[in-house]
Amino acid sequence: MSDEKVKGAGKEPLERVRIGLEVHVQLKTNTKLFCTCPTDYRDAEPNSNICPVCTAQPGSKPNGLNATALDAIVRIALFIGCRVIKGEEVRMLRKHYFYPDLPSNYQRTSLPVGVDGRFASIRIREVHLEEDPGRYELRDGQVDYNRSGIPLVEIVTEPDMSTPQEARDFLRALSLALSYLGVARDEPGSMRCDANVSVGEGTRVEVKNINSFKGVYRALDSEIRRHRRFQRFGKRVVRETRHWDEAKMITIPLRKKEGAADYRFIPDPDVPPLVIDNALVTRLEEGLPERPTEKEARFVKRYGLDPYTSSVLVLDLEVADLFEKVAKRTDPVTAAAWLKDELRRVLNYNNLRLSETTITADEIVEVLKLFRDGTITDLTARRLFEWLAAEPRSIRQLIGRLGLGRIAGEDELTRMARQVIEDHPKAVDDYLDGKVNSLNFLVGMVMKTSGGKSDPKLTRDALEKLLGAERLRRAGDSVLS
Ligand SMILES: [Zn+2]
């Protein structure tokens, strides 16, 4: 809102924007919601993960509901503060519409499993279970039913957000929370979002098919501007569903908004009602992980981290868990800084998750120890993080193989310093004539010779010692001459 306000300064105050989101997330299950077809639809040949059930062939009946999907949705509902509907029948409904990706002409969607939640300051209206449709490729008319029947959770918020930024922040927080639960598929396109937008007393418009956090921001920004433009010219915004065209960065009309009646909801007679009992909820509640915000606060309190470092570490549960293991064995603040900066840098650079590397707490502790006791420089420590991410070797192996140990040995450092002094007589003369800056040049030359492995302080000491001897030698020469 703040940006808008600045732009509108001097004019009448802008009307309040209301944004509500419907977030669909594919649940991480091995099999589909009502059949045993595999769910790895991305890598599979089109229409290879299908059966009569998920392609709605005549006479086919759904199997029992996937228990993993049920556990997942109850855990999600609990995690975002919803009251789970217990001891009552939760019907699976048929929601009718016609599209080539939906062979049954209805999508199965449950009544709410959880209601009245609150997450990241936004009220959650409900959480329910759905089936994903197949994929219809408009360009060539091909339909792939591999995705058909994959379980989805739909999370519906109240229209509590008032800026595109807030909507994006909410989705980021939600995505992070789901990653902590480990119940959602973690792939591009596995989280999709529809947004309801209204401006002031204006009509509510639904924007569909938003697939990224950036897309949410841009789609909402574009749609809010459209509403304001209409209102400025006294035009009415039509109640409709619009499609977000990411390439053109505009929303375009898709269809007049359907009311619930258009979908002709009926309870699916093939699916028995779901009854979630107390024991299940209690068991799942006990197994819930710490929430990201709770972890962030705890890291600050227990390990003395600054809030920013803590907020960055908790963005990746694997990194946060590694931090805790390391923090118990070494200085937590130092460890946090290295993990926040170096570890995350190399993971991002290599596009790897921590679990896809062989990095362990032992190795991090080892690197930090070698760094602290002066065996390796910080440059070497940084390289070690890079190599650890790239290839599975022990720290000692890497140091040994790559000759990375700090050049702390008197002999080698002295040898290099002596060579540099021999090679740069002018700089030596300058130094002995009182131009102390020449020493910096010589230190730099030794560092360069060592490939950055010599310690600056030790190098300076070694040079000063040799130059002192040189000064004495010259003084002696002049006395003798
Ligand atoms: Zn199937």
Question: What are the tokens at 333?
Answer: 């603040």
Q: How far is the CA of 74 from the centre of ligand 1 (A)?
A: 23
Based on its alpha-carbon atoms, the radius of gyration of the chain, rounded to whole angstroms, reads: 32
Contact 35, 62 (CB under 8 A): yes
Cα of 410 vs centre of ligand 1, distance in Å, is 71
Q: How far is the CA of 208 from the centre of ligand 1 (A)?
A: 27
Q: Which two tokens stand for residue 175?
A: 């995505």
* Dist. CA 352 → ligand 1 center (Å): 32
Residue 11 is predicted with a pLDDT of 55
Residues 82, 97: Cα–Cα separation, whole Å = 29
- d(CA 63, ligand 1 centre) in Å: 10
Query: Token pair for residue 31?
Result: 């099999």
- Whole-number Å distance, alpha carbon 436 to ligand 1 midpoint, is 79
How confident is the model at residue 4, as a pLDDT?
Answer: 46
State the first-to-last Cα distance of the chain, in angstroms, to the nearest integer. 84
- In single-letter form, the type of residue at position 383 comes to R
Tell me the DSSP string of 384-443. Answer: HHHHHHHS---HHHHHHHHT-S----HHHHHHHHHHHHHH-HHHHHHHHTT-THHHHHHH
Half-sphere CA count of 352, side-chain side, radius 13 A: 19
**116 SS3 class:** strand
Distances (CA, A) of 201 to 182, 193, 228, 257, 264: 40, 24, 12, 18, 29
C-alpha of residue 39 to centroid of ligand 1, in Å: 9
**Crossing angle of helices 456-480 and 425-432, rounded to 10°:** 80
Question: What is the Cα 386 distance to its own chain's centre?
Answer: 20
Give 38 Cα–ligand 1 centroid separation in angstroms.
8
112 CA distance to ligand 1 centroid (A)?
Answer: 24
Reading the block at residue 95, the tokens are: 């929601």
- The one-digit pLDDT tens for each residue of the chain (481 residues) are 444 444 444 455 678 899 999 999 999 999 999 999 999 988 899 999 999 999 999 999 999 999 999 999 999 999 999 999 999 999 999 999 988 999 999 999 999 999 999 999 999 999 999 999 999 988 888 999 999 999 999 999 999 999 999 999 999 999 999 999 999 998 877 899 999 999 988 889 999 889 888 899 999 999 999 999 988 888 888 888 888 888 888 888 877 656 666 888 999 999 999 999 999 999 999 999 999 999 999 999 999 999 999 999 999 999 999 999 999 999 999 999 999 999 999 999 888 889 888 888 988 998 899 888 887 888 888 888 888 877 766 666 666 655 555 544 556 778 888 889 989 999 999 998 888 888 989 988 888 888 777 777 778 888 888 888 888 778 766 554 4
Residue 373 one-letter amino acid: D
The whole-number pLDDT of residue 9 equals 45
Going from the Cα of 277 to the center of ligand 1, the distance in angstroms, rounded, reads 28
Q: How far is the CA of 178 from the centre of ligand 1 (A)?
A: 26
Report how far ligand 1's centroid is from the alpha carbon of 41 (Å). Answer: 12
Centre of ligand 1 from the C-alpha of residue 51, in Å: 4
Distance 54 CA to ligand 1 centre (A): 4
Instruction: Tell how far the Cα of 265 is from the centroid of ligand 1, in angstroms.
Output: 23
Residue ranges near ligand 1 (ion) with Cβ within 5 Å: 35, 37, 51, 53-54
User: Measured in angstroms, how far is the CA atom of residue 105 from the centroid of ligand 1?
Assistant: 16
At 380, list the tokens.
């070497």
100 CA from centroid of ligand 1 (Å): 17
HSE-up (13 A, CA, CB side) for residue 202: 30
Residue type, 169: D
Q: Are 114 and 86 in contact (CB under 8 A)?
A: no
User: How close is the Cα of 146 to the center of ligand 1, in Å?
Assistant: 8
Residues of the chain with CATH 1.10.10.410: 410-480
How much is the pLDDT for 2? 45
How many whole angstroms from 180 Cα to the centroid of ligand 1?
Answer: 29
Question: In angstroms, what is the span from residue 110 Cα to ligand 1's centroid?
Answer: 19
CA–centroid distance, 64 to ligand 1, in Å, is: 12
Ligand 1: centre distance to CA 286 (Å): 33
**Distance, CA 134 to ligand 1 centroid (Å)?**
11
CB 261 within 8 A of CB 254: no
CA of 262 to the centre of ligand 1 (A): 27
CB 326 within 8 A of CB 339: yes
Task: Quote the ligand 1 centre to 27 CA distance (angstroms).
Answer: 16
Rounded-to-integer distance, Cα 167 and Cα 19, Å: 7
354 touches 319 (CB < 8 A) = yes
Long-range contacts of 460-467 (CB under 8 A, 24+ apart): 462/410, 462/413, 462/414, 462/417, 463/417, 463/420, 463/421, 463/439, 464/439, 466/414, 466/417, 466/418, 466/421, 467/421, 467/428, 467/431, 467/432, 467/439, 467/442
Q: How far apart are CA 294 and CA 286, in angstroms?
A: 16
- In the CATH hierarchy, which fold is given to the domain comprising 410-480? Arc Repressor Mutant, subunit A (1.10.10)
Strand pairing category for 240-245 and 205-210: parallel
Ligand 1 midpoint to CA 392 (Å): 40
CA 130–ligand 1 middle distance (angstroms):
15
